[in-house]
Structure 1
Amino acid sequence: MRKFGFISATIILVIFSVFTFAIWQASNQILFPKWKGITKDFRDCSSEGEKLWGKYCGNIRLTKEFEFKEVSIRSLNGYDLPGWLVPAIANGKGFQKGVILLVHGGGSDRRELTRMIPFYLRQGFDVLSFDLSCHGEAPCPFPGLSFGNRESRDVLSAYLYVSKKYKDILMMGSSVGASSILISLPFLDQVKGIILENPMLSFQRLILDSPESSGLPDQMVQTLIDLVTIRGRFDTLLSPENSLPLARNVPLLFIHSKKDSVVPYEQSMLLTKRYSGPSEVWFPEFGPHGLIWETNQAEYEKRVRDFIRRNTNERNTR
């Protein structure tokens, strides 16, 4: 009997150890996501990274395709965020309507949305892209990603930065970037319009709806959620679904692919129902998470261009 008891205890210990290791590793992947072949070192770029973000992985310091300024944005979180300001007029456009803030996704950095800069320059807008905290070249005094909790304050800081100079302000965000914008939306009354790609309802729904969570015991999934928030030092109260009912003035364009396997497009559908302000939706049948533009560039740009024209009274965009 003693031998049997020892064996049983050993089996239980092994199972517990495997469970603990698996949960810890999963929390690492959530808190510190990585794009394939892309590192935080802007000098490095893999062939796979170039396929995703363009030449030199979207590093405009190396491509030299734009006239731009290195800028520093003081964050409400207490540190400076590095960014690139690309002026329309300095890059050969005959007029300047305003500015658009590009807010990258989780685990990414400002290089991710470089491929969108020419399109927005053609609309007559200066472009400001910047690194969210714990991304790219930005400081990281916290343990990783917080899924909009801290990042939303970075977004608000960037808005305050450009509002000193520009009257017409647009925003565009992808994934965590889009969710961060939505969390800060009640404070963005003067923004003319926001383009939101594949935002999430909340961090909890992101995990609960993920393919990896299907088939797992509910308690195991909840343990993972709790571990991530404890390690990441953020709460789950700040979320797009909680912020949207508090805002109503800013026009929103939700873009979410029905093929998105990271954040189901139904989450955007639910977000639109929580917003009483003006909103439009486009749920294309194509495009993986964060890559809708690449799948059908012409249709994507037409919808965004029309949205900008309607909300800025600009008739000279191309």
Structure 2
Amino acid sequence: MSKTGKIIISIILLIIIGLGAAGNYFYSYAVVPAKKEFLAASSSKKSTQLIAAEKWFDANHSNWQITSKDGLELSAYYLPAKTNQHKTAIIAHGYMGQAADMSQYAKIYHDLGYNVLLPDARGHGKSEGNYIGFGWPERKDYLQWIKYVNKKEPRTEIILHGVSMGAATIMMTSGEKLPDNVKAFVEDCGYSSVNDELSYQLKQLFNLPAFPLIPVTSLITKIRAGYFWGEADTIKQLRKNNRPMLFIHGDKDDFVPFSMLDKVYHATKGPKEKYVVHGAKHAEALSSDPTLYQKKITEFIQKYIP
């Protein structure tokens, strides 16, 4: 081999090693469950509604567990309705959150006479897992939670509500084969795809283009977590959905950009409504106007679960 050829091969090997190192770093940064410095700290001041919801949640929940198809022990909180009206809301939390964070959302549905199930996503809260699935493997977990709810209460009608990554999770779930008693979905500030969201974050946080780091890290995710980021496509899943969905997004969202709202809204084939919360940042639609948020949800779900 010529000297020039050896130099070229050496350069290629250095590039591959460098990309591999960068990809593993970004994998740890985005996919491994751990404290994330880039996440905005929540306000230490809690609203009266949130304090009341947390007290109610702490006093009334029980714990459910299932085993995922790939052997993880998954945990959830369950809050039974005061009187059994055969209605159940399953609520999905966001990235690096946990089910216990969702007490105020749970209270909305409980006050409407619903049983409420709040799963901890894999790698979050009390559920096992060493990676974040961004909604893709979690959609299969939600099929199991739905099956478990139906085993406990065969006559129930189900609505799924998710926020941020939880919203992407329920939108991805909407494209799966679901039992007829799953009646509707409420998604709050979910992303159009994992590739879109992480490409956006790569630009926002590091001012780097998507290529080549996104495909490299996606390959590493496939090796270490079992899925490519390109598989986790919310829009493709929504195109298979025919059930009703309410889409919520704050127009000042700079974490899951507001521009993604129209992408997901137009993708679904089912009946749909849009609720834009003016001035709200990411996952702040409820805290911005709790009364109107509850009103919008109530009006929407009562059309499909009277």
TM-score (norm 1): 0.77
Matched, 1:239 2:233: yes
Q: Which consecutive unaligned segments of at least 5 residues does structure 1 have?
A: 1-12, 38-45, 314-318
Please report the RMSD computed on the Cα atoms of aligned residues, expressed in angstroms.
3.3
Change over 3 Å in CA distance of 1:196–1:70 after alignment to 2: same
Residues 76-121 of structure 1: per-residue CA shift (max 9 Å, x gap): 33333211111121xxxx5634110011112111112112222111
CA distance in 2, matches of 1:286, 1:155: 32
Contact 2:81 2:110 in 1 (8 A): yes
Matched, 1:264 2:257: yes
Q: Which residue of 2 aligns with 1:160?
A: 147
* 1:272 Cα deviation after fit: 2.0
TM-score (norm 2): 0.80
Change over 3 Å in CA distance of 1:50–1:149 after alignment to 2: farther
Contact 2:29 2:36 in 1 (8 A): no
Aligned letter for 2:212? Q
Identical positions, percent: 22
Which has the higher mean CA deviation after the structures are superposed, 78-87 or 212-221?
212-221
- The correspondence of residues 80-229 of structure 1 with structure 2, limited to 5 A, is 80-89=73-82, 96-140=85-129, 143-164=130-151, 165=153, 166-185=155-174, 186-188=176-178, 189-210=180-201, 211-212=204-205, 214-216=207-209, 218-229=211-222
Residues 253-312 of structure 1: per-residue CA shift (max 9 Å, x gap): 011112111111222311222211111111222222222101111111110010111111
Contact 2:75 2:120 in 1 (8 A): yes
CA distance in 1, matches of 2:167, 2:255: 14
Aligned letter for 1:209? Y
Q: Which residue of 2 aligns with 1:29?
A: 29
Change over 3 Å in CA distance of 1:170–1:151 after alignment to 2: same
CA distance in 2, matches of 1:274, 1:196: 13
Aligned letter for 1:219? P
Contact 2:33 2:124 in 1 (8 A): no
Residues 197-236 of structure 1: per-residue CA shift (max 9 Å, x gap): 1111211111122323645473344444444444433122
* 1:33 Cα deviation after fit: 5.3
